[in-house]
Amino acid sequence: MLIAIRNKLYDSSKIDKKNLMFSNHDLKLLLLPLIIEQILNSFMGMADTMMVSNVGSTAISAVSLVDSINNLVVQMFSAMAVGGTIVCSQYLGREDKEGCNKAARQVFLSMLVISIAITILCIIVRKPLLEKVFGEVEVEVMTNSLTYFGITVLSYPFLALFNAGAAFYRAGGNSKFPMKVSVISNFINIAGNALFIFGLHMGVAGAALATLISRIFCTVVIFYFLHKPHQPIVINHYFQIRPQFSMISKILAIGIPAGIENGMFQFGKLAIQSTVSALGTAAIAAQAMTNILEMVNGIVGIGIGVGLMTVVGQCMGAGRKEEAKYYIVKLTGYAEIAIILSCLFAFAITKPVTLLGNMEAESAKLCFEMMIWITLVKPLVWVLSFIPAYGMRAAGDVRFSMIVATCTMWLCRVSLCIYLCKVWGFGPIAVWIGMFADWTLRGILFTARFISGKWTEKEVI
């Protein structure tokens, strides 16, 4: 029975277990730094928010509002970096280093031009954009928002280029170096906050300046080392790079659908936040804390998914389709174990965290109840709804992922949440009922797509 199921997932007779592209040791070297980076970035982000909150409620409100826009931009740059990772990893799988370096140069140029254009546009329309998105807010909140946005928007090109540079290293199987750079950058950001906020009393301007400096550091370091030889991907002679539109179109064919998928996810989150905000202060506080804890129990799984893109990309580039299937199944198993352990850990720290956070009794009770359901349901449905999709995207099957993720987001996660809240009077648990429905439907559709094998017919290069 088990052999029949395995043969349905991949043909083991076509896989030479003694000559795999990635040994267990190789997977460990690739995945562990990615997981550590995800964990540290998450906790550094929490520390960053806590430091800014000391400035006052208007400051944290301004930062929170502006970051809802910044996160959209971050997701777009991350999606373009995904396109670079997939294209470059497939060239490396073919052992075509020259083609890989040409692709990397075009990713660099594309990210630079697009990020500068977005930065200039945001600077020009900064005030009307914030007024349009946030409507009527307190004068002090809007003033702080304009200050924070005006400085952080200058970091967009550096953020975009770091994402690209990190993607090049990961495509070559080196996730350790970008992890180190990212961790140092986070410490620079925290130190900058301490200096500018508490030492120089610069408020939100200090928080924004610390973010800008940390992102400049990331970009300078990663591209300084990228021009050195003796590594899979090398970029040099930056001023001699000229656009090759055929290559750029290949990259954007991957990056744009991924960007739309990520963008829809952010818009969906905003719609859900708007619904929860009408449920009262206790519900808002409970939902905010539950979101943080749910993010914690998914960090390791996401790190495995990001690493899977490099693995599958190289396998597909080398024409080893059955081996790509094998790794998707194997890493999905790893992710399942990780999610079970992460969910148990997050559940175990729920009560201590709500106590340390001085949450009101009603909010803490709501948070604990939601974490019970998340701990029970997430290990059953989350992994199949996300991990195989990372691998299939790496094979070039990005449009299917975009359509499925967008439809399930709006049909389940958003619409069901709004319906249960407004029609049936559900509390914040409605958010998670919608989420569970989304994960379940996505898991069914992605599993069916994986078994069909249609994703292996896509061509990237």
Q: What is the pLDDT of residues 58-82, one digit of tens each?
A: 666 667 667 777 877 877 888 788 8
DSSP letter, residue 228: S
Residue count (the chain): 461
Pair 130, 63: CB distance under 8 Å: no
> Domains in the chain: how many in total?
2
pLDDT at residue number 1: 45
Note the Cα 461 to chain centre separation in Å. 25
Location of structure tokens 């744009």: 256
**Rounded CA separation 298/334 (Å):** 13
- pLDDT at residue 46, rounded to an integer: 61
Q: Is 18 within a domain?
A: no
Q: Are residues 223 and 272 in the same domain?
A: no
> Whole-angstrom Cα distance, residue 286 to residue 281?
9
C-beta atoms surrounding 292 within 10 Å:
17
Both 232 and 260 in one domain: the answer is: no
Asked if 139 and 147 count as a contact pair (C-beta separation under 8 A), the reply is no
* 28 falls within a domain: yes
Q: Is 295 domain-assigned?
A: yes
Report if residue 15 sits inside a domain.
no
pLDDT at 54: 67
Block residue for tokens 């379940």? 440
- Residues with pLDDT less than 50, the chain: 1-2
Measured between alpha carbons, how far is 297 from 339 in angstroms, rounded to an integer?
A: 7
Q: Which of 197, 218, 243 is the last residue of a domain?
A: 243
**79 assigned to some structural domain:** yes
Q: CA angle 167-168-170, nearest 5°?
A: 65
CB 152 within 8 A of CB 74: no
219 shares a domain with 161: yes
Of 215, 243, 271, which closes a domain?
243
Whole-number pLDDT of residue 386: 94
- Region of 95 on the Ramachandran plot (φ > 0 left; ψ -120 to 50 alpha; else beta): left
pLDDT digits (tens, 9 = 90+) for 94-111: 988 888 888 889 988 988
Q: Which of 243, 264, 296 is the last residue of a domain?
A: 243
Report residue 301 as tokens. Answer: 């799984």
> Are the C-beta atoms of residues 161 and 76 closer than 8 Å to each other?
no
User: Are 400 and 437 within one domain?
Assistant: yes
Given this model, what pLDDT does residue 135 score? 65
Pair 183, 296 in one domain: no
